[in-house]
Homo-oligomer: A and B are copies of this chain.
């Protein structure tokens, strides 16, 4: 396999010395970029974009041509696993995702099986291999999956939700059924991420968008514990290289210490905690990724630089920090402001 020309991300995730703080941006390949919107238009619809490796590769690489980013992240949807399980993922314009066959009962759960990453999810594995080839060692490629709790939420609600009435109703009324669902989804996520690693992903991240909707106790049981079981099952070396793992739960700062104890290499932070306080909670166990409020990018270059510098100075260790937003970039952001952010991180990042 080719050698990495820029290995800052991997080094920071493993808390090794870096020449400056690495930076990438959640949803960096996305609607805020006109070139992304053009490819999306060419694809016709969002799912075709996700399911065509050449197009997924094209949009994955786009932000790297504009900005001095230190990682590429696989362009894909968070709901590929439930789709591969036969739930029938659809995107109606302006409506967000929905499933034609949501999970509604114990018998629905009993019917679910772990999807074969080389069959139903082959388009993802193929995209990873293609992107890795096209990157040619420029920066590392991050693979990803949704967390079991987050995927289960969509599977039971049948799509996006504000109230989480169905999944929470299941959680409180029939926790055993929920555990069964989380178990099959966890096995699927582990298999899926390992297939991405074998295809060339050089780091993997688990996105737990909805863990923060739980009480701390239920978060640890239904969101963190399944993620911890996945961390134990992942191939942590491939082709002679260490594959770092990043866990990110939005809105779960109450459990950062517990996240750090899972064996993950890094923990992602949203912007509702000072990174200095987060560091105290996780100690020397993990690297931290984050955590600029994404809305800072609606302001001026001067304000963006000030806020970036604040976070960099609040993280006082020589390594172990990957700069990122605290959540995905919004579609309305001016790409020029992203350039200001990326360049500022490299200029003022931790040097060794």
Contacts and interface: CB of A to CB of B under 8 A. Distances in A.
A300 B171 CA distance: 11
Given A164-B295, A253-B254, A254-B253, A271 B215 contact: yes
Contacts of A172: 295-296, 298-300, 303-304, 307
A274 interface: yes
A293 B215 contact: yes
Interface residues of A, number: 33
A272 B164 CA distance: 15
A136 interface: no
A298 B168 contact: yes
B295 A168 contact: yes
A217 B274 contact: yes
Interface in A238-265: 251, 253-254
Contacts of A215: 271-272, 274, 293
Contact of A212 (B168, B272, B293, B298): B272
A307 B173 CA distance: 11
The winner among A215, A272, A304 for most chain B CB atoms within 10 A is A215
Contacts of A303: 172-173
Contact of A254 (B168, B173, B272, B332): B272
Contacts of A272: 212, 214-216, 251, 254
A64 B290 CA distance: 47
A232 interface: no
B216 A274 contact: yes
